[in-house]
Structure 1
Amino acid sequence: MNKKEYFFSLKKYYQRILLTVPLTVILSLNFNTSSAWAKDPFRVKNARDIGEHTEKAFKTIFIEGNYQTVKQELNQAEVKEPNEPLAHALLASLAYTEKDWQKVKQYADETLSSAQLLSKTDPVRGNLYLGVGHFLAGAYIYEKQGALPAINKLQQVFKYLDRAEDADPNDPELNLIKGYMDLLLAVNLPFSSPEQAIARFKAHAAPNYLVERGLAVAYRDLNDYNKALKYADLALKTAPENPEHYYLKGQILRQLGKQQNSVTILTEAIANFDLALAKSKQLPEFVLETLERERNSAQEKIVEIESGKS
């Protein structure tokens, strides 16, 4: 995979990195409720004050799986927590799903500005979101100018991720976001071995629910569907109201059903797709497009098997 192909793959996956996996909270984390730093969804030790409105937005998107009602909370975060780069990154990512390119650029710039300020006191999170901000800026450039001008942004992304890792290689927030990128590369590059990326992700990323979801995606892409189902079920157990979890389980079951020519498994896949579609008003358009297409594909495969053509 050359740089152009890498950027294209990573850009398409980026909205998953920010919108569907790394930026959320796990309800079972045992924070000290009297602490002034009780709004950190990633850390029990050395927790940061990420902010009330940003945290609530996390829950709305990633525990409830509701993308349509989150803007108001993020707008509050933008006003009341203006130095939190995560809020700006989420706003940029939502703008990306709506193809509002000027807002993507605006919030990418705000992510960079707030991350630069934060890097003076918190080199891990500051440099992490400098990397994220440059990636958002690169996604904007890609859409407006094409792949080649955007490739230079990759050097900035990796430079700041490396600086964050130098500051604390075991930081859970860093390992969550960087871990998704590492897993993406590990499962897609030829002759690569994903075991090391998976082991580090398991050991150092948090919260657990997002780790489980990430592992489900990784094992799905490695065609290890039994392990993928295991982790998808764990993610569903933690956040059963999130329709994207049913979508992910449906994806895995569809692939397994196709592999085994099993009407039973494909029917279960459709049942999970339908559970996700029952909350379609919560989901962004780009998710619904692929969800409906994959449901139709599962149904077509059932017809093919039952007709004896498979």
Structure 2
Amino acid sequence: MAVKLTTLSQITPSRVLRVASATLVSLSLWASPSLAKDPFRTTNARQIGDRTEAAFKALFEQGNYKKADSFAQKADPRDPLTQALRASLAYINWDGEKDEAKKSAQLEVFKTYATQTREAAADMVSKDPLRGNLYQAVGHFLESAYIFSKDGTVKGTPRALGEIQQAFKYLDNAEKIDSSDPELNLLRGYIDLFVSLNLPFSSPTDAINRLDKYATPRYLAHRGIALGYRDLNQQAKALAAVDSALKATPNNPDVLYLKAQILVRQGDNRGSIAYFNQALTKQEQLPPGLVRQINRERDRAQSRLGNAGQ
């Protein structure tokens, strides 16, 4: 996929970081217990370490960032999924940090794990070309996010653009190996969705269809679909998708928070407050920055209720 130079003015650090974070969400779905079935394939199953799998479950099934970080730090560093999980958590910590010195240091931690994701993936290519190419794509996306965050849009664009182009090259390589692979379709569905919503390079409709038809685990496919429809302002479809995700992960504060956001966009401020509050009952397992954001959005919904005299 070639990136058009005429669209460079629309590339911002926050947009690329959203793409990178979305990539990590889909990437982290590759975790499966070392003695369990591959959640994507009935044949040629992949296996990973128990601690990496535990980190995945803590983060994406339970929404427990602290537990996920504890497991990830103890997991096998040679596994690029381990490094990707560490990078995801480091980015979240960077995004929510208020102290500028700590924020700068956390950005360098994020960069280290992003590079280690790419390097570990390169080592994997000879044994598993499909996953090796996918992880290299993720590593390049993350490194582009680091460049934008460190150098800004004007100074960072030439280098970051090269990283983005490399990322799509590796995604295309993986698709050439097996375009029907369910793991690939989940990852590419998330990446294409967030790229299309934040950068004008692909179709959100095609990405949503890919997630809907081919992606598993279903609860994360539904979560991605809900995010897509939310940002396309198709809130009824977004609500149906997030409700499907909640059936599988009813206590995940991230999914509860997402439903609250969708209800706000539907104009149901009263209904949204209950879900904001449910998400905040899990605040001890969330990063401080995310807790502050949920509180801000809940307070705005409450203020709108008061202003409307409801």
Q: TM-score range by the shorter chain?
A: 0.7 to 0.9
| One of 5, 10, 17 as aligned partner of 2:10 | 5
More displaced 10-residue stretch of structure 1: 123-132 or 292-301: 292-301
Corresponding position: 1:151 with 2:161: yes
| One of 284, 289, 295 as aligned partner of 2:298 | 295
| One of 227, 236, 243 as aligned partner of 1:226 | 236
Corresponding position: 1:110 with 2:105: no
Distance 1:13 1:176 in 2: 14
Residue by residue, what CA displacement relative to the aligned partner does 1:118-150 show, whole Å, maximum 9, x if unpaired?
111211100000011111222222222223132
Shift of 1:177: 2.1
Structure 2 counterpart of 1:298, which letter? A
TM-score between the two structures when normalised by the length of structure 2: 0.85
Given the superposition, is the C-alpha separation of residues 126 and 10 from structure 1 closer, same or farther in structure 2, using an over 3 Å criterion? Answer: same
| One of 163, 172, 176 as aligned partner of 2:173 | 163
Shift of 1:39: 6.0
Query: Is the helix fraction higher in 1 or 2?
Result: 2
SS for the counterpart of 1:38 is coil
Contact conserved, 1:24 with 1:61, CA < 8 A, in 2?
no
Shift of 1:290: 2.5
TM-score between the two structures when normalised by the length of structure 1: 0.85
Shift of 1:4: 4.8
Query: Unmatched 5+ residue regions in structure 2?
Result: 1-5, 95-105
- Per the alignment, residue 84 of structure 2 pairs with 89
SS for the counterpart of 2:10 is helix
Contact conserved, 1:25 with 1:62, CA < 8 A, in 2?
no
Contact conserved, 1:25 with 1:63, CA < 8 A, in 2?
no
Aligned pairs for 1:109-258 within 5 A: 109-147=115-153, 148=157, 149-187=159-197, 194-257=204-267
Shift of 1:22: 5.1
Given the superposition, is the C-alpha separation of residues 158 and 233 from structure 1 closer, same or farther in structure 2, using an over 3 Å criterion? Answer: same
- Per the alignment, residue 56 of structure 1 pairs with 54
Structure 1 counterpart of 2:301, which letter? A
- Per the alignment, residue 304 of structure 1 pairs with 307
Percent identity over the alignment? 44
Shift of 1:157: 0.8
